[in-house]
Structures are given as structure tokens and as C-alpha cells.
Structure 1
Amino acid sequence: MTIKVLVVDDSALIRGVLTRMLVNEGDIEVVGTALDPIDARAKVKTLNPDVITLDIEMPNMNGLQFLDRLMRLRPTPVVMVSTLTTKGASETLLALELGAVDFVAKPGVGLDGGLETFGAGLREKIRAAATSDVRGRAQRVDAPKVAVRTAAGPAGALIAIGASTGGVEAVRAVLSALPVDCPPIAIAQHMPAGFTSRFAARLDSLCAINVVEAEDGMVVQTGNAYVARGDYHLRIERRSGQLKCRLDQKDQESGHRPSVDVLFGSVAQTVGAAGIGIILTGMGRDGARGLGQMRDAGAHTIGQSRASALVYGMPKVAFEEGAVVEQAPLDEIALRLANALGRARSAP
């Protein structure tokens, strides 16, 4: 099936670059371009695109206002094309909250260097967006059905969470339901450099627990979550009797850096049966191998259910490969992990 794409950007140069990156793909067709949301609104109705690429800063109506209206009136998968600035990162995270599926960082002014990588990432995200369930997400409520009053675990317990496309809001849904007595949490979310610090800050403002961007050598503590820095792997190591974050820029694994497989594998080796592994929405297979290692080490593992996942890719592969102990809807995952920690705490 050919994916019909509408490119929306006020820059003719960027519209041209994005179009050229997509037109030679056999499964992607650029059915039109629009220079602002007013133009886009008319073309969405006539062209009925499967996916929209959307800039934020545009005349007449900004991309966030257009996105908000689109998701309320005509839910359509959207991939944001964002600038690598603090303001751009904050607006991108807001766009994901409003319903955008994913984002790519806009090429630099010179448009030279890295264009091939940018194009490959854009095409991958458009394909993932085309398979996403944005209409179903608009109807779902992510608030937990039952309040999680305690998530205390045994000494040395640690929670590891991995996610990709759709994960920004899925991670928020899980973390915002957890109380401050929960074990430390390590998070690998596929996200480029320049965005993870804002992601961590946003989570910190919305959650009872403390959320920070991980730093190399940082000691992990109860009631705290640590987000892998963009373009860095995050591992959990035990040094001097303490669990600590280890960041590095070794080669990509499973096609990513940060890689969920890297995080999960380190937790399996370091924490073993005291771990809880959670794999959330995302395209591809990153995390399945590492989650299997966690389960083999005795950890309890949870996969997001098909019905609640924006993109049922990573959780599906992990489930099919036997890495998942139980599947759960997004709004039940915090409770399921709290129950697993309670059983571990009361075990002889």
C-alpha cells in the first residue's frame, strides 16, 4: 500500500527537500504540499493524506494550533519537523501531547551533511505513523483505573522502561501514576540529542517522582527516574556497592542510540530478579532481546497491549519472542508493576 503524504512547511526550500527525500520511495507518495495551516486545511479535505509532516512556526496559524484542531476534528497521523533549539524542543513535546505521532529534527541551515541520515529517519517515522492508531488514541483515556498508593520494592529493585514511537506520552502515563516510594527507574526513549533534557524536565513537572536526564556516574535512588541522554546509551552498573548510570556513545545497537536492548541487558546483568522491565509502544524490535535477558534473569516483564499501543511493534516482537510475562493496557501498567514489586517484597 502506498502511503500518501502531505508536506506542510512555510519554507519552499524545506518543502522541496522533504519532497525529494520521499518521492523516490516506492511505498511513499507526496500527494501535495502546503505553505501554511490554512492551505493545509483545504488540502487535507481534498487529498485525504495518510500522514502529514508539519512545521511548527508558520504564518496565519502555527502548527500547534492546526494540530490541536486536526486531532479534534479529523485525527490524522502527523510527524513534526522540528528545530534543534530549546524552544523547538519544548514545542515539539507539546505537539506530541496534542497528538503528533513522532518528530524529526529539521536539517541545518546549510542543508549539507547528514541529509541521508535525516531522510532515512523521516521515511522510517512516516512508515510508523502510517501504521499508528491515532483515532483509537483520541478515544482512549490514559489515567490509571486504580490509584497506585505504594510501589515500594525490595532492596536493590529497579524498573527499566523502553519506548519509541508514541513513547513520550506512554512514558508520561506510566510515570505520572507512580508514587514517590517506587524503586529507581531507568528510561530509554528513542529521541535525538537536544530533546531529552526538555523531555525529562516536562516529566518532572508532571510526576510525583523526580525525573532527570541521566548523567554518567549518577547514583540511582528511590523515587527518581533517569532518562537516557539523546545519542547516548544508558546502562545500569553496580560500582562501590551502588547502582549507577553509565553513559557511552558506543555503536548503535538494534539500530538505535540510546538502545532499549542495551539498557535492558545491563539491568538483567546487574539487578537480575530484582528488576521490572516494561516495553512500550514503538516500531521495530529494539528491546525484545534485552527484555528476554531480563526475564531469563528472573525479572518480571510487562508489555503494552495491542489495543493501547499507538504503534504495536516493539511490544509485539517482545511478546512473540517470549520476553513478556504479562501484557497490560497502558492505564494498568503502573498498577501491574506495583503488584509485581509487592509480591517480590513479601517473598521469603
Structure 2
Amino acid sequence: MKPIRVLIVDDSASVRQALATVLSQDPDIEVMGVASDPIAAARRIQDEIPDVITLDVEMPRMDGITFLRKLMAQKPIPVVMCSSLTEQGSETLMQALEAGAVDVILKPRIGVADHLAESSARICEVVKSAAQARVGGRRPRTFNLRDSEPAKKLTADAMLPPPTGRAMAKTTEMVACLGASTGGTESLREVLQALPANAPGIVIVQHMPERFTAAFAKRLNSLCEVEVKEAVDGDPVLRGHVLIAPGDKHMMLERQGARYYVSVKTGPLVSRHRPSVDVLFRSAARSAGANAIGVIMTGMGDDGARGLAEMRDAGAFTIAQDEASSIVFGMPKEAIARGAAIKISPLDAIAREILRASMSH
């Protein structure tokens, strides 16, 4: 398998150098070149097409969002945006995801090189995920991330307490648990926008850096009939409300009497992620059983596959997004291979399946 060729576009020489160093350490990635602005990048692309572009937002001569839109309209290439951790930066990155970016790398305003070095595993994984992404009709590269993953990988047992017994019998309320990664921000928007204001309570894990989930939730809340917010430890799961796990925190579904709430905690990376879909799904299997609906959506890797299987075994109705509508078919594919999905659905049918399952409860 040829290495993934990456073009780094950033006006900061130190960021270009730091990213190039991080990416070059992975044997499956090759830094094809660097560019200081979109004009230079456009010239470079005329000579050779990269598999993935990392793109800064604020640059001279042309900003990253404008370049991204032009690129998606003329020559779709998977793009990973690179921007600061500020609130304004988060809002801009939401525009980038709307315009077609497949993922995000966040950088602080100071200590960038050290931060990027510390985040090297995630950065390399994001680039590999982007190489698989289906953008603008482009055929994704086939790539087996497992070949280059470290052998040790924590499971959700690292976060979950020992089971105390079977989940309660069916009650009148259902809770839907959704998990997604690469391509999930826009896919989740489509699902949530299709739900009515009285939809069952929903809890979501989207692989996303810290400080970004608040802007994501705020944007969804402005677009949807359901109420959407970033989850806080102890938040109740209510009909017509959606809770999104905060970046860099795990979220678990808990039960108190006949009511559900979320527990938001720090902890180790699970399946290489924090938040982890497996942590949410496996907690739902224990706490909600047949009162739950599990949905696994677009994303790379296998996070959520085991958890969805446990949800199905506990009596939950489980759904996997189909290949044709997935930006990256990794996570749904793994869940389907485990027999975890009762239903395989295109993206535009997932909201309908959630409502149907909740009404037949």
C-alpha cells in the first residue's frame, strides 16, 4: 500500500515544520509538500494531487474557508482543518465542516509545536481517516489502520463499574444513543433536523476535540426542533432533548429509578478515543437494556462495535448506517460484521427508524 500523501497548508513556518515532523514519523504517511497560503497550495496541486490536505483557517491572500469551498467545487480532496482553540475558531470550523472538511486538528495559540507533538497519535489517525473519506464522489482509499496501531488498546471496562444486574424492564420512555466519528458532524445534523420536538431523549458521542463540542451543540440547537446542548455531569435525559458528550470527556448513561441521566467523567482513552462510543453504548446496555435504541454512524475504526452488540444482546433496537451514505464506513462496518445491527439504514432513514422504534416500544 502506497503511503498517504499529505499537503500541509499553513502560513506559520513553525506549524508547517511541526506538522511535517509529526506526520513524517508515521510510516504510512508521506508529506508531499508544504505551502504558506492557498495560492501556493493551488499551484502545488496542479503538479501533483495529494490524498489529504491539512488546511489552516486564517491565512494571507485567501482564507482557508474560501479555498476549501473552491476546492470542493472544482477538485474534491479530503481536507482536515487546522485552527486555534478559541470560541471564534470553533464557530469558523463549523463553517468549514459545512463546506466539506472531513475533520479537525486544533492547535493552541502558544506552544504549538509541543502541543502537536503531544497530539501526534490523534493527528496521524485523523489524516488516515480523511484518506478514507468519500468527498464529492471521490472513491476512498482502502487503508487498514490496524496495521499501524499500537497493540494495547483499552476497552470500555476501563471506565465502567462492574455490572450490578440486569437493566430494568421496559418503561414508557426510550433513550436513543448515537455514536459517530469522521463525517459525523454533518450526518448528525441531518438526523437531528429530521426529528420532531417530542422525539425520545438522545445522547450522542461524536469524536471531537475539547472546546469544539460546545460550538457544535450550539449550532445544532439553532437548526433543530429538539433542544441540543453539550452534556454536563448529572444532566437528565429528557424527551425532546439531545445531550452531546463534551470533547475529551467520556459520557455514560445511568439510571435512577425510572429516569435516566448522564455521567460525564475524565478517564483513559478507550478504543483510542475520549469520548468513546463504546463507553456510552455499553453503559446503555447495562442501564437501559430494551429501553434503548443504538445507532452507529460514519467513522473510522471499531469504536462502538462491541457496545452496539451488547446493546442488541440486552434487547435494544440497533441501527448501523449503510455504506453508501457513510463518509467513512469503518465503524458501521465493524458493528455489522459483529452482528450488532438489527437494521442497516441510509442516513436519510435513520431519524425515521428511531421514531418508529420508539413508538413501537
> TM-score, with normalisation over the residues of structure 1?
0.91
Give the drift of 1:267: 1.1
Query: Kindly tell me: are residues 248 and 137 of structure 1, through their superposed partners in 2, closer, same or farther at Cα, counting changes over 3 Å?
Result: farther
1:30 counterpart SS class? strand
Residue 199 of structure 2 corresponds to residue 182 of structure 1:
yes
**Are 2:195 and 2:226, in contact at CA under 8 Å, matched by a contact in 1?**
yes
Deviates more, 1:63-72 or 1:30-39: 30-39
Q: What runs of 5+ residues in structure 1 fail to find an aligned partner?
A: 139-152
Residue 76 of structure 2 corresponds to residue 75 of structure 1:
yes
Residue 285 of structure 2 corresponds to residue 268 of structure 1:
yes
Query: 1:288-323 CA distances to partner (integer Å, 9 max, x unpaired)?
Result: 111111100111111011111001001000000111
- 1:247-262 maps to which residues of 2 (within 5 A)? 247-262=264-279
Residue 140 of structure 2 corresponds to residue 161 of structure 1:
no
- Paired with 2:212 and 2:24, the residues of 1 have a C-alpha distance of 28
- Paired with 1:305 and 1:154, the residues of 2 have a C-alpha distance of 30
Matching residue of 1:21: 22
- Paired with 2:138 and 2:215, the residues of 1 have a C-alpha distance of 24
2:125 counterpart SS class? helix
Give the drift of 1:23: 2.1
- Paired with 1:216 and 1:26, the residues of 2 have a C-alpha distance of 40
Matching residue of 1:124: 125
Which residue type is aligned with residue 245 of structure 1?
V
> TM-score, with normalisation over the residues of structure 2?
0.88
- Paired with 1:11 and 1:95, the residues of 2 have a C-alpha distance of 20
Query: 1:77-110 CA distances to partner (integer Å, 9 max, x unpaired)?
Result: 0011111000111111111111001011125522
Residue 311 of structure 2 corresponds to residue 310 of structure 1:
no
- Paired with 1:200 and 1:25, the residues of 2 have a C-alpha distance of 33
Which residue type is aligned with residue 192 of structure 1?
P
Q: What runs of 5+ residues in structure 2 fail to find an aligned partner?
A: 140-169
Residue 340 of structure 2 corresponds to residue 323 of structure 1:
yes
Which residue type is aligned with residue 127 of structure 2?
I
- Paired with 1:207 and 1:177, the residues of 2 have a C-alpha distance of 8
- Paired with 1:17 and 1:112, the residues of 2 have a C-alpha distance of 5
- 1:3-42 maps to which residues of 2 (within 5 A)? 3-42=4-43
1:61 counterpart SS class? coil
- Paired with 2:79 and 2:116, the residues of 1 have a C-alpha distance of 21
Deviates more, 1:232-241 or 1:266-275: 232-241
- Paired with 2:196 and 2:59, the residues of 1 have a C-alpha distance of 40
- Paired with 1:112 and 1:330, the residues of 2 have a C-alpha distance of 38
Which residue type is aligned with residue 289 of structure 1?
R
Matching residue of 2:210: 193
Percent pairwise identity: 48
1:309 counterpart SS class? coil
1:134 counterpart SS class? coil
- Paired with 2:64 and 2:255, the residues of 1 have a C-alpha distance of 45
- Paired with 1:327 and 1:240, the residues of 2 have a C-alpha distance of 32
2:228 counterpart SS class? strand
Residue 63 of structure 2 corresponds to residue 46 of structure 1:
no
1:5 counterpart SS class? strand
CA RMSD after TM alignment: 1.6
**Are 1:264 and 1:287, in contact at CA under 8 Å, matched by a contact in 2?**
yes
Matching residue of 1:135: 136
Pairs aligned (count): 330
- 1:277-316 maps to which residues of 2 (within 5 A)? 277-316=294-333
Query: Of 252, 257, 263, which aligns to 1:246?
Result: 263
Query: Kindly tell me: are residues 8 and 163 of structure 1, through their superposed partners in 2, closer, same or farther at Cα, counting changes over 3 Å?
Result: same
- Paired with 1:274 and 1:262, the residues of 2 have a C-alpha distance of 17
Query: 1:219-259 CA distances to partner (integer Å, 9 max, x unpaired)?
Result: 11110000001111111111254211111112222111111
Query: Kindly tell me: are residues 221 and 137 of structure 1, through their superposed partners in 2, closer, same or farther at Cα, counting changes over 3 Å?
Result: farther
Matching residue of 2:149: none
- Paired with 1:72 and 1:284, the residues of 2 have a C-alpha distance of 29
- Paired with 2:296 and 2:342, the residues of 1 have a C-alpha distance of 11
- Paired with 1:292 and 1:136, the residues of 2 have a C-alpha distance of 31
- Paired with 1:137 and 1:22, the residues of 2 have a C-alpha distance of 23
Matching residue of 2:230: 213
- Paired with 1:241 and 1:2, the residues of 2 have a C-alpha distance of 52
Give the drift of 1:111: 3.4
- Paired with 2:249 and 2:217, the residues of 1 have a C-alpha distance of 15
1:225 counterpart SS class? strand
**Are 1:213 and 1:229, in contact at CA under 8 Å, matched by a contact in 2?**
yes
Query: 1:176-231 CA distances to partner (integer Å, 9 max, x unpaired)?
Result: 10001111000001111111111100110111100011111111111000000111
**Are 2:15 and 2:113, in contact at CA under 8 Å, matched by a contact in 1?**
no
Matching residue of 1:342: 359
Query: 1:3-32 CA distances to partner (integer Å, 9 max, x unpaired)?
Result: 111110011111111111122322211111
1:104 counterpart SS class? strand
- Paired with 2:138 and 2:47, the residues of 1 have a C-alpha distance of 24
Query: Kindly tell me: are residues 44 and 137 of structure 1, through their superposed partners in 2, closer, same or farther at Cα, counting changes over 3 Å?
Result: closer
